[in-house]
Amino acid sequence: MSDFRFGIVVFPGTNCEQDVAHAVRWLGHQAEYIWHQDTTVSQFDALVLPGGSSYGNYLRPGALAAASPIIAAISEYAAQGKPVLGISNGFQILTEAGLLPGALQQNASLTHICETLDFYVEKTVCQWLQLASGTMISLPVSHGFGSYYADAATLIQMESNGQIVLRDTQARIAAVCNEQGNVFGMMPHPERACEVLAANHPAGAGGTVFSTIVKHLEVVR
Protein backbone atom coordinates (compact mmCIF):
# COMPACT_ATOMS: atom_id res chain seq x y z
CA MET A 1 0.00 0.00 0.00
CA SER A 2 2.64 2.45 0.98
CA ASP A 3 5.05 1.96 -1.88
CA PHE A 4 5.05 5.32 -3.63
CA ARG A 5 7.12 6.52 -6.54
CA PHE A 6 9.10 9.73 -5.99
CA GLY A 7 10.60 11.53 -9.00
CA ILE A 8 13.78 13.43 -8.15
CA VAL A 9 14.53 16.23 -10.61
CA VAL A 10 18.21 16.68 -11.46
CA PHE A 11 19.62 19.86 -13.01
CA PRO A 12 23.26 20.44 -13.94
CA GLY A 13 24.83 21.33 -10.57
CA THR A 14 22.21 19.64 -8.37
CA ASN A 15 24.13 17.77 -5.66
CA CYS A 16 21.65 16.43 -3.10
CA GLU A 17 19.74 14.02 -5.36
CA GLN A 18 21.43 10.92 -3.95
CA ASP A 19 20.69 11.98 -0.37
CA VAL A 20 17.01 12.47 -1.25
CA ALA A 21 16.88 9.12 -3.09
CA HIS A 22 18.51 7.41 -0.11
CA ALA A 23 16.03 8.96 2.32
CA VAL A 24 13.03 8.02 0.17
CA ARG A 25 14.27 4.41 -0.21
CA TRP A 26 15.19 4.18 3.46
CA LEU A 27 11.57 5.12 4.24
CA GLY A 28 10.41 2.25 2.00
CA HIS A 29 9.51 3.99 -1.25
CA GLN A 30 10.79 4.15 -4.80
CA ALA A 31 13.06 6.94 -6.00
CA GLU A 32 13.98 7.67 -9.60
CA TYR A 33 15.98 10.50 -11.10
CA ILE A 34 14.50 12.74 -13.81
CA TRP A 35 16.83 14.81 -15.99
CA HIS A 36 15.90 18.50 -16.41
CA GLN A 37 15.45 18.03 -20.16
CA ASP A 38 12.76 15.38 -19.71
CA THR A 39 9.19 16.53 -20.12
CA THR A 40 7.16 13.67 -18.61
CA VAL A 41 6.52 13.48 -14.88
CA SER A 42 2.96 12.11 -14.71
CA GLN A 43 4.18 8.61 -13.72
CA PHE A 44 5.26 9.84 -10.26
CA ASP A 45 3.25 10.15 -7.03
CA ALA A 46 5.39 13.08 -5.86
CA LEU A 47 8.25 15.19 -7.18
CA VAL A 48 11.29 16.50 -5.31
CA LEU A 49 13.66 19.23 -6.53
CA PRO A 50 16.78 18.65 -4.40
CA GLY A 51 19.42 21.10 -3.24
CA GLY A 52 22.72 22.01 -4.83
CA SER A 53 23.91 24.80 -7.09
CA SER A 54 22.02 24.42 -10.34
CA TYR A 55 23.88 26.14 -13.19
CA GLY A 56 26.52 27.23 -10.70
CA ASN A 57 23.97 29.65 -9.20
CA TYR A 58 24.80 31.97 -12.12
CA LEU A 59 22.66 35.11 -12.46
CA ARG A 60 20.59 34.25 -9.34
CA PRO A 61 20.23 30.90 -7.55
CA GLY A 62 17.57 28.90 -9.40
CA ALA A 63 17.04 31.46 -12.18
CA LEU A 64 18.56 29.47 -15.05
CA ALA A 65 17.16 26.12 -13.87
CA ALA A 66 13.68 27.69 -13.80
CA ALA A 67 13.92 28.02 -17.60
CA SER A 68 14.54 24.26 -18.10
CA PRO A 69 12.23 22.15 -20.32
CA ILE A 70 10.99 20.14 -17.31
CA ILE A 71 9.52 23.22 -15.57
CA ALA A 72 6.44 23.33 -17.84
CA ALA A 73 5.76 19.66 -16.99
CA ILE A 74 6.21 20.37 -13.26
CA SER A 75 3.82 23.36 -13.50
CA GLU A 76 1.18 21.18 -15.13
CA TYR A 77 1.73 18.43 -12.53
CA ALA A 78 1.41 21.00 -9.72
CA ALA A 79 -1.74 22.48 -11.26
CA GLN A 80 -3.33 19.03 -10.92
CA GLY A 81 -2.78 19.28 -7.15
CA LYS A 82 -0.01 16.68 -7.05
CA PRO A 83 2.77 17.11 -4.47
CA VAL A 84 5.98 18.95 -5.35
CA LEU A 85 8.77 19.63 -2.83
CA GLY A 86 11.71 21.97 -3.43
CA ILE A 87 14.58 21.73 -0.96
CA SER A 88 17.06 24.63 -0.63
CA ASN A 89 18.16 25.29 -4.27
CA GLY A 90 14.97 23.44 -5.27
CA PHE A 91 12.99 26.03 -3.24
CA GLN A 92 14.84 28.82 -5.07
CA ILE A 93 13.98 27.18 -8.44
CA LEU A 94 10.28 26.97 -7.50
CA THR A 95 10.15 30.69 -6.60
CA GLU A 96 12.05 31.64 -9.76
CA ALA A 97 9.61 29.53 -11.80
CA GLY A 98 6.66 31.34 -10.20
CA LEU A 99 5.32 28.13 -8.61
CA LEU A 100 5.78 29.66 -5.16
CA PRO A 101 5.41 33.33 -4.18
CA GLY A 102 8.32 35.52 -3.07
CA ALA A 103 12.06 35.13 -3.55
CA LEU A 104 15.19 34.10 -1.64
CA GLN A 105 17.78 36.76 -0.96
CA GLN A 106 21.37 36.52 0.13
CA ASN A 107 21.70 35.93 3.88
CA ALA A 108 21.97 39.23 5.74
CA SER A 109 25.18 37.92 7.35
CA LEU A 110 26.72 37.41 3.86
CA THR A 111 27.88 34.03 5.13
CA HIS A 112 26.93 30.52 4.18
CA ILE A 113 24.87 29.24 7.12
CA CYS A 114 25.48 25.57 7.88
CA GLU A 115 23.96 24.35 11.15
CA THR A 116 21.05 22.51 12.70
CA LEU A 117 18.21 24.81 13.73
CA ASP A 118 14.87 24.39 15.47
CA PHE A 119 11.77 25.20 13.44
CA TYR A 120 8.18 25.73 14.49
CA VAL A 121 5.65 24.11 12.16
CA GLU A 122 2.92 26.70 11.65
CA LYS A 123 -0.78 25.98 11.25
CA THR A 124 -0.63 25.30 7.55
CA VAL A 125 -2.42 23.96 4.48
CA CYS A 126 0.84 22.33 3.34
CA GLN A 127 0.30 18.67 2.37
CA TRP A 128 3.92 17.94 3.23
CA LEU A 129 3.80 19.05 6.89
CA GLN A 130 0.17 19.64 7.85
CA LEU A 131 0.10 16.70 10.28
CA ALA A 132 3.04 18.16 12.19
CA SER A 133 1.43 21.61 12.71
CA GLY A 134 2.13 23.01 16.14
CA THR A 135 5.29 20.96 16.74
CA MET A 136 8.97 21.94 16.81
CA ILE A 137 11.32 20.08 14.48
CA SER A 138 15.07 20.27 14.30
CA LEU A 139 16.58 20.30 10.80
CA PRO A 140 19.94 21.08 9.20
CA VAL A 141 20.27 24.13 6.93
CA SER A 142 23.03 24.88 4.46
CA HIS A 143 22.64 27.93 2.27
CA GLY A 144 23.99 31.33 1.25
CA PHE A 145 20.73 32.64 -0.25
CA GLY A 146 18.11 31.60 2.28
CA SER A 147 16.52 34.84 3.40
CA TYR A 148 12.88 34.66 2.33
CA TYR A 149 11.29 37.83 0.99
CA ALA A 150 7.77 38.63 -0.17
CA ASP A 151 6.17 42.08 -0.06
CA ALA A 152 3.96 42.95 2.93
CA ALA A 153 0.64 42.48 1.10
CA THR A 154 1.70 39.03 -0.16
CA LEU A 155 2.87 37.99 3.33
CA ILE A 156 -0.45 38.98 4.93
CA GLN A 157 -2.29 36.97 2.29
CA MET A 158 0.03 33.98 2.76
CA GLU A 159 -0.39 34.05 6.54
CA SER A 160 -4.17 34.09 6.34
CA ASN A 161 -4.08 31.23 3.80
CA GLY A 162 -1.78 29.09 5.99
CA GLN A 163 1.05 29.21 3.45
CA ILE A 164 3.83 29.98 5.93
CA VAL A 165 5.02 26.51 6.92
CA LEU A 166 8.23 26.81 8.98
CA ARG A 167 9.71 29.61 11.08
CA ASP A 168 12.95 29.51 13.02
CA THR A 169 13.18 30.58 16.67
CA GLN A 170 13.69 34.18 15.53
CA ALA A 171 10.39 33.94 13.57
CA ARG A 172 12.19 34.06 10.22
CA ILE A 173 10.40 32.20 7.43
CA ALA A 174 12.17 28.99 6.34
CA ALA A 175 9.47 27.26 4.31
CA VAL A 176 6.31 28.22 2.42
CA CYS A 177 3.72 26.52 0.24
CA ASN A 178 1.31 27.56 -2.50
CA GLU A 179 -2.35 28.36 -1.85
CA GLN A 180 -3.44 24.76 -2.55
CA GLY A 181 -0.78 23.37 -0.19
CA ASN A 182 0.69 20.86 -2.67
CA VAL A 183 3.77 22.83 -3.76
CA PHE A 184 6.20 23.20 -0.86
CA GLY A 185 9.55 24.97 -0.67
CA MET A 186 11.86 24.65 2.33
CA MET A 187 15.39 25.88 3.01
CA PRO A 188 16.28 23.12 5.57
CA HIS A 189 17.35 19.70 4.30
CA PRO A 190 14.97 16.98 5.58
CA GLU A 191 16.82 14.27 3.63
CA ARG A 192 19.86 14.86 5.86
CA ALA A 193 17.91 14.16 9.02
CA CYS A 194 16.03 10.94 8.36
CA GLU A 195 18.21 8.31 10.01
CA VAL A 196 20.62 8.02 12.90
CA LEU A 197 23.55 7.33 10.56
CA ALA A 198 23.07 10.79 9.07
CA ALA A 199 25.06 11.79 12.14
CA ASN A 200 24.60 15.03 14.01
CA HIS A 201 20.93 15.47 13.47
CA PRO A 202 18.06 14.18 15.56
CA ALA A 203 16.84 11.14 13.67
CA GLY A 204 13.36 11.26 12.29
CA ALA A 205 12.75 15.01 12.08
CA GLY A 206 13.42 15.02 8.35
CA GLY A 207 11.44 11.83 7.92
CA THR A 208 8.37 13.75 9.14
CA VAL A 209 8.26 15.62 5.83
CA PHE A 210 8.34 12.44 3.75
CA SER A 211 6.08 10.37 6.02
CA THR A 212 3.49 13.18 6.11
CA ILE A 213 3.25 13.32 2.32
CA VAL A 214 3.05 9.51 2.23
CA LYS A 215 0.08 9.61 4.63
CA HIS A 216 -1.50 12.23 2.36
CA LEU A 217 -0.87 10.05 -0.72
CA GLU A 218 -2.42 7.03 1.01
CA VAL A 219 -5.58 9.05 1.63
CA VAL A 220 -5.88 10.42 -1.90
CA ARG A 221 -4.86 7.21 -3.71
- Indicate the residue among 63 and 131 with the shorter CB distance to another protein: 63
Pairing assessment for the beta strands 84-87 and 136-143 based on DSSP bridges: unpaired
Residues near another protein, by CB under 8 A: 59-60, 63-64, 67, 95-96, 102-103, 105-110, 149-151
Tell me how far CA of residue 139 lies from CA of 43, 81, 211, 212, in angstroms: 30, 26, 15, 16
Supply the minimum distance, in Å, between the C-beta of residue 156 and another protein: 15
User: In whole angstroms, how close is the CB of 59 to another protein at the nearest point?
Assistant: 7
| Residue 110 or 197 with smaller CB distance to another protein | 110
As a whole number of Å, the end-to-end CA separation of the chain is 9
Closest distance of CB 21 from another protein, Å? 30
Measured distance CA(116)–CA(132) in Å, rounded: 19
3-state SS class at 77: helix
Select 19 or 96, whichever has its Cβ closest to another protein: 96
Least Å distance, CB 91 to another protein, is: 14
Q: Which is nearer to another protein, 47 or 104 (CB)?
A: 104
User: How many CA atoms within 13 Å lie on the side-chain side of 164?
Assistant: 20
